[in-house]
Amino acid sequence: MGYTPSTLVACPNLQERLDSVFDNENARFFQDKIPFSEFLMSPLNRNELSQRVSSGGSKIRTVELTYQPRILQSEKFTNSSDYCTATSERGDTSTSYEIDTTQNVGFEQKFDVEKLKSACEDNEMWFMDQVGKMVAATDVAVNAKNASQANALLGGWSSDVSGIPFVTLNGDILEVQTLVPSSAYEPFPSTLQGIQSALSASSFGNSTLVGGFQLHNYLELIRNGCCTDYGLDIEGIQADYGIASIYDRAVATTQGDNATAWAVANGALQVLYYNRWSGLFEAQDANQSYGQIMGALGIPYDLVIKHDCGVIQVTVTATTKLVALPDDMYQTGDHLDGVKGFAEINVVNS
């Protein structure tokens, strides 16, 4: 039995895009959620450090910040009759924040111009869609890099935390329980209060807990849906409860389990970034263009588009580094010695 070519269905009627047929909000089938980095890049958390560190002409960009650790209470005098003599000299200390402009992550892709001609979609729309997917993948890669770098930046808790009921201070780790002993499902009622007290004693202020499912699910249960995985108002949640909670797959992977979380005070972690190109597009000629493009995080990535003898080559490059507050903000003998607004919480259920 033969067939007539004219009866074949036209290409556009045969081929539809998967993300058009399945109306998937936020492309949920194609991209991991990245709430940790969304928080880091939110106005709630950001400051001017990244803009300061991005200047300079070498491969290593550096900014030095000065600060003075607070005065120890042990240095006070009492019952003095001498109002005119001072002998203590106190000066500033400093820390340097730097970013190596050769340390980056990104994605590349090439397109054959002849194949573009035979595609079933408008060339420009299809090409921009491909670049958009590269940018989205770069967002996920930056989030994983942030999580990996954060693990080495952890600080501690106030020594006063050791006296708070229902929590245990084990070195620099705050241990909590989420279940009533010998129960597989009944939530321990005082854990949220214990965490709030530990954050307060350590001068964290409003904070976000980010990590695996165990603590996140407990807080979600206790507070009846006040927590957020993605897209909710973290600032509003903090205003109501002092704590927001997010689950992030990259953070849980870095932590190595679902029982660990990080407490992050607003502003305690910052993402530095560097761009080789200053705008979109800074430079271009007949065959290549250089500029910037932003993804969901609002971090500008370097974008290069090059046309070379029938092949279009595209690279998206993110040069970022996560940094934390200095380790020596508080002196030895201060109950906040080692505190930097970023510390670990571990769920230990017996």
16-67 tens-digit pLDDT: 454 554 555 545 556 788 999 999 999 889 877 666 666 555 577 777 777 6
Note if the pTM is more than 0.85: no
- Does 4 have pLDDT greater than 60? no
Question: Rounded to whole angstroms, how far apart are CA atoms 182 and 177?
Answer: 12
- Domain limits, the chain: 30-70+92-104+122-278+323-350
Question: Rounded to whole angstroms, how far apart are CA atoms 168 and 43?
Answer: 33
Least confident of 22-26, 38-42, 143-147, 170-174: 22-26
Average pLDDT over residues 161-187: 91
Are the C-beta atoms of 345 and 262 separated by less than 8 Å? yes
Through-space distance between the first and last CA atoms of the chain, rounded to whole angstroms: 73
pLDDT for the residue numbered 348: 94
Question: Rounded to whole angstroms, how far apart are CA atoms 302 and 276?
Answer: 7
- Residues 6 or more apart whose CB falls under 8 angstroms from that of 144 comprise 250, 253, 254
Joined tokens for residue 286: 């007949």
Question: Rounded to whole angstroms, how far apart are CA atoms 281 and 200?
Answer: 47
Amino acid (one-letter) located at 80 = S
- Packing angle between helix 213-222 and helix 191-201, nearest 10 degrees? 110
Amino acid (one-letter) located at 151 = N
Burial class (CB in 10 A: 0-12, 13-18, 19+), 45: buried
Question: Rounded to whole angstroms, how far apart are CA atoms 95 and 64?
Answer: 6
- Does 100 have pLDDT greater than 60? yes
190-245 tens-digit pLDDT: 888 899 999 999 999 999 999 999 999 888 877 654 444 444 566 666 566 678 89
264-303 tens-digit pLDDT: 999 999 999 988 877 656 666 768 888 889 889 999 999 9
Question: Rounded to whole angstroms, how far apart are CA atoms 328 and 341?
Answer: 12
Joined tokens for residue 174: 């705050």
The percentage of residues in the chain with a pLDDT greater than 90, rounded to a whole number, is 41
Are the C-beta atoms of 34 and 140 separated by less than 8 Å? yes
